[in-house]
Each structure stands twice: as structure tokens, then as C-alpha cells.
Amino acid sequence: MAHYAVRESPPLRGEIPISTSKNAVLPIMCGALLTREDVRIEHPPDLTDVHTLRSLMEACGCRTHCEQDALILNASCLKNPQDEEDVRKMRASVLVLGPLLARLGEARIPLPGGCAIGQRPIDQHLKGMSALGARVAFDHGGVTLTGCLRGAVIYLDMPSVGATENLLMAATLAKGTTRIENAAKEPEIVDLAAFLSSMGAKIAGAGTSTITIEGVSELHGTSWQPIADRIEAGTMACACAITGGELLLRGARAEHLRSLLFKLSEAGVHIKDTPGGLMVFGRAKQPFEIRTMVYPGFPTDLQAPMMAVACKTPGTSVFLETIFENRFMHAAELARLGAHIRVENRVSVVEGTPYLTGAPVRATDLRAGAALILAGLCAEGETLVDDEAGHIDRGYCHIEDKLCAVGGNIVRL
């Protein structure tokens, strides 16, 4: 639970260190369940999602401790978690399914319900596990998978990030060869595959739509530094596009953010790729059109931050959300600050306005919360962001400290 008071801020100037990627670390932590040996994850981000998953790892019999700036996991005594509440706390915990099944021959999790941004079913995860030979049984609101996994050809109906990761992990210990077709291509998948390969897995094609995995009998321990968080970096680039100024996003990688960088350039923001990270200069001056898509298309997770940019950018910007069915809830909150936004199903039309004024608003989900903080940076007076559910801390490491360090006017209450 957190509340933020944000005031209109001068152009942001300075350097923001980009944290290790949340969406890379979570599957990598689950991947640690695939071996009996120690897995060391360097610089894990200080996020509630990471802490929650760590407790779930412990409920799976995994020993965990921190050493310098690393998280060490050891799953030599792996078991299914007894208390389903541990799994239910976060969506990404569905990613324990593949490793538990691959190592124990049995896995049970409660079925995740819908969430604020959409229904988010796991049918593709289950379809893939079933193709690998698992029996799938539903009872009492949960799903139990049992069986000894054998390599298979799996076609995903849509390139789901989570399903690709879950199946990739399960297939590393399956007997024979698995091919995942229409796989997701996100950088976090490439990082997970590289991490698993460093444990002895045999994987080819990660980052393309066909991934081939040759099962091995066991995996060994490793030490891994996951990639920098492209969504945090993209959010901070949006902050710069809102206030103007000049930011160095230390550690951010341009090749993971091409779609956003093209859009910011179209809006008149200058970008420079340097060895230390991405430099972003100046304010957005022209409107833009965004269609969220799977990677390398525009990430749905940056749709809300870009909508905050559009609110004060002169002209008409258009957003089409194709990944999640209900991901415009921030539009109504941005409207409370004076933004002109019309939402029709999956389309939002934003008419840039020269003035936003501070108001109390509510963070409806993680990225929506970040978007409201960004909008508060360019709204006259005070914007009070109520994040009762603690969404922002799930995915942004100390967002107020990072923004304050470059001149943002924001206080956690």
C-alpha cells in the first residue's frame, strides 16, 4: 500500500540506473527449481513481486538467501506447495508449473482468476503441458498435472510470453525433442533460454517463433545476471518526453526498445544510444499512433506511460490495445487531471491539452499507476496517486527516489 504526492516538475536532468528486469527475473527464479544445485541471481530488483515469488519458492521447498547483491536459490528438496494461497498471490506464479511437473512428475496450482486488465486464461500453458504428456485434471478451483514428460511439437494459438516460458522450462527435462511453434519472442524469453542453457539445457531458436529444446536428464547450478528492465527504462523515457530535459537511462538497451524509440522519435523526442545506456532529450511535440503488439511490436506495458505523454502533446494521438481486453482504466483517471480522452472498446483517442491540473487519482494496475505519476509531473499543483493495492511497488524499484534524483517532485506518503 502506498500513496504518492506528485507536483509539477522542472525538466528532468541526470542519470537513472535501470534495475534488473522484473519480467526476466520472475521466470528465471522459477527456472531455479529445475536443478538440485545452487542458482545465483545477480542484482535482483527490490520489488514486491520478487519477494512474493521468493516466498512461493520457499513454499516449494527451495532454500533461499541473499549474499552481497545476489539471491541464491537451492531446490534440492523440491515439493509442491501445500498452501494454495502462496500461489494465488501473484499471476506469474503459474510459472512454477513447468519446473514442478518436470522434476516431480506432478504439479498442482489454483487456477488464476481474471485480473484488472483482462481475463488472462492459462489454456495455452495447459495445452502445451498436455502435448508433452501431462494429464490435466481440474478440481476444487485448481489444476493438477501429472505424468512423465516426453518431447512433442506444440503450436501456441497466440505467442503467449508466460506459456512459452513455462513450456520451455518443462521441455528442458522432457525425454526427447520439443518444438514450440508460434513462440513468443520477447527479450525476457531469450534471457530465460540463455539462463537455462547456462544450466546445461539444449535450446535453439529463442527469440524466433520456433524454439527447439532437446531434453537432458538433469540441469546444474549457475550464476546469472538477468537483463535490464526495458519497461522501467521505457517508462523513464516517457517521463523525459513529458517534462523535457535530458536523461541517461543507465544500462537500458536500445535493441530491446526499438518500437518505443521509433514512436518517441516520431513525437520529436531525441534518442541517442551510448555504451552506458540510452540518452533521451527533449519533450514530445507531435502526436503519434500506437498499436500494442507482441514483440518486436509496441509493448502493451508501455501503452499507459505513452498515454500520459499524449495527454499534453499537441494534436490527436490514437491508441489501439490488441493484447489485453481491459487495459485503458488509466484513461478515466488521466481525465480527472484534465486530459481529453475518448475510449471505444480497444481504441483510445487523446486530444493533447496544454494544461493538466493535479487531482486525487487511483492506480488501477501497475503500469497505470506509473502513468499517473508521470502525468502528475506535468500537472499544475498536486496529484495524489492512491495505490492502495501497492501495484507500483510490484514492478518499479523505488520509483519516487529515481525520479527525485533527476529533479522530479514526488513524495511517498
SS (H, E, C) 257-282: CHHHHHHHHHCCCEEEEECCEEEEEC
Q: Among this protein's residues, is 115 annotated catalytic?
A: yes
Residue 175 exposed, middle or buried by CB count within 10 Å (0-12, 13-18, 19+): middle
Closer residue to ligand UD1 in complex, CB, 166/383: 166
Phi-psi region of 81 (alpha: psi -120 to 50; beta: other; left: phi over 0): beta
> Which span sits near ligand UD1 by CB under 6 A: 96-104, 122-130, 141-149, 386-394?
122-130
Q: Quick check: 122 binds ligand UD1 (CB under 6 A)? A: yes
Q: Please, what is the minimum distance in Å from the beta carbon of residue 5 to ligand UD1?
A: 27
- Per the document, the length of the chain is 413
Q: Contacting ligand UD1 (CB under 6 A), which of 10, 105, 113, 121?
A: 121
Please state, in angstroms and rounded to a whole number, the distance separating the CA atoms of residues 376 and 409: 9
Handedness of CA 278, 283, 284, 290 (dihedral sign): positive
E-state strands within 225-322:
245-250, 270-274, 277-281, 289-291, 316-320
Quick check: 29 binds ligand UD1 (CB under 6 A)? no
From 9, 19, 74, 124, residue interacting with ligand UD1 (rule: CB under 6 A): 124
- Does 14 participate in binding ligand UD1 (rule CB under 6 A)? no
Q: Which of 66, 77, 115, 148 is catalytic?
A: 115
Minimum CB separation of residue 231 from ligand UD1 in Å reads: 7
What distance in Å separates the CA atoms of residue 109 and residue 88, rounded to the nearest whole number?
8
301 lines the binding site for ligand UD1 (CB under 6 A): yes
Among residue numbers 321 through 340, which ones bind ligand UD1 (CB under 6 A)?
323-324
- Helix, strand, or coil here: 213? strand
Q: How far is the CB of 1 from ligand UD1 (least distance, A)?
A: 21
The closest alpha carbon to 410, from 17, 10, 47, 1, belongs to: 10
Decide whether 187 or 287 has the Cβ nearer to ligand UD1: 187
Q: Using the rule CB under 6 A, is 158 a contact of ligand UD1?
A: yes
Under the criterion CB under 6 A, does residue 397 sit at the interface with ligand UD1? Answer: no
Find how far residue 179's CA is from the centre of its chain. Answer: 25
125 scored as a contact of ligand UD1 (CB under 6 A): yes
Binding residue (CB under 6 A) for ligand UD1 from 9, 19, 20, 160: 160
Q: Which is nearer to ligand UD1, 365 or 387 (CB)?
A: 365
8 A C-beta contact, residue 324 and residue 300: yes
Q: Which is nearer to ligand UD1, 297 or 315 (CB)?
A: 297
Residue with cell 508521470: 374
161 binds ligand UD1 (CB under 6 A): yes
| Count of residues touching ligand UD1 (by CB under 6 A) | 23
> Would you please indicate which residues are annotated as catalytic (active-site) residues?
115
Give contact residues for ligand UD1 (rule: CB under 6 A).
23, 26, 92, 118-125, 158, 160-163, 184, 188, 299-301, 323-324
